A = this chain, B = another copy of it.
């Protein structure tokens, strides 16, 4: 793979929040490309990204930002991608490689097809499975992607060289690159990420609306703290996820609602055996997951 890799002269980050800022900081650290240009529509983010060492050059004009770029990484909330692609399309050089970090992949492919007529062979849809409940460029962590998975969801005609460049970029920041079918990605992520976020937002909002709200938060312990941490995530990013991964999100949400309603009946009818069976099954699955996490941690102490 190393022989095929060409160090990009100009890499442009579009969007300088947690994801874009952290990627820039990590790429700059290992000197992976000659120049990292950062675009944001927010002048304050541009300024901070420069100060925090996430980019080499701040560019407030989108067209100028992508002109002559060898690689372009879209790091904006997913519903923003459409306008970005429309704007940059005429300014892209033919060999430019495009990739993104969005949590949904089918929507990104469909939008690119809409704007380019067909999915450009140099557009590699990607999703780094990393993040934080903290958002914005000030939350940047150069090691955000280290030992985390990045899922590429190429189409049949996606260019092999573009795949290699995007793979090399993520590997250079310590990530582990894997591949998945577009639709399968959206289903798996709906379950493992989108549904938990929806539930956490919903629960915190419900409890904040209770009459004894203050005491509920006052008497919350470590379990509640961990359980609700993701409810502090970026609301715009998550609105976009649910608007663009509606089918898969509703499918797994409905499974969850069916099962939770069954537990509700078990409580109402005082069916201790059913509660015990479900809780035990969940504990066994979660303990198994803990052991996998432990193994990953042993392999990568900084995981």
Contacts and interface: CB of A to CB of B under 8 A. Distances in A.
Contact of A264 (B206, B220, B250): B250
Interface in A230-276: 230-236, 238-239, 242-243, 246, 249-250, 252-257, 259-261, 263-264, 267-268, 270, 272, 275-276
B267 A246 contact: yes
A272 B280 CA distance: 37
26 contacts: A129-B221, A130-B221, A191-B207, A197-B223, A199-B199, A200-B282, A201-B263, A202-B260, A202-B278, A202-B282, A203-B256, A205-B285, A207-B252, A207-B285, A208-B281, A209-B255, A209-B259, A226-B226, A228-B286, A231-B283, A231-B286, A235-B279, A235-B283, A236-B276, A238-B279, A243-B275
A151 B220 CA distance: 12
B204 A263 contact: no
A229 interface: yes
A68 interface: no
Interface string A182-210: 00100111011101111111111111111
A225 interface: yes
Interface string A120-159: 0000000001111100000000000000110100000000
Nearest to A258: B206
B243 A270 contact: yes
Contacts of A233: 223, 279, 283
A4 interface: no
B239 A276 contact: yes
Interface in A96-123: none
A215 interface: yes
A219 B217 CA distance: 31
A131 B221 contact: yes
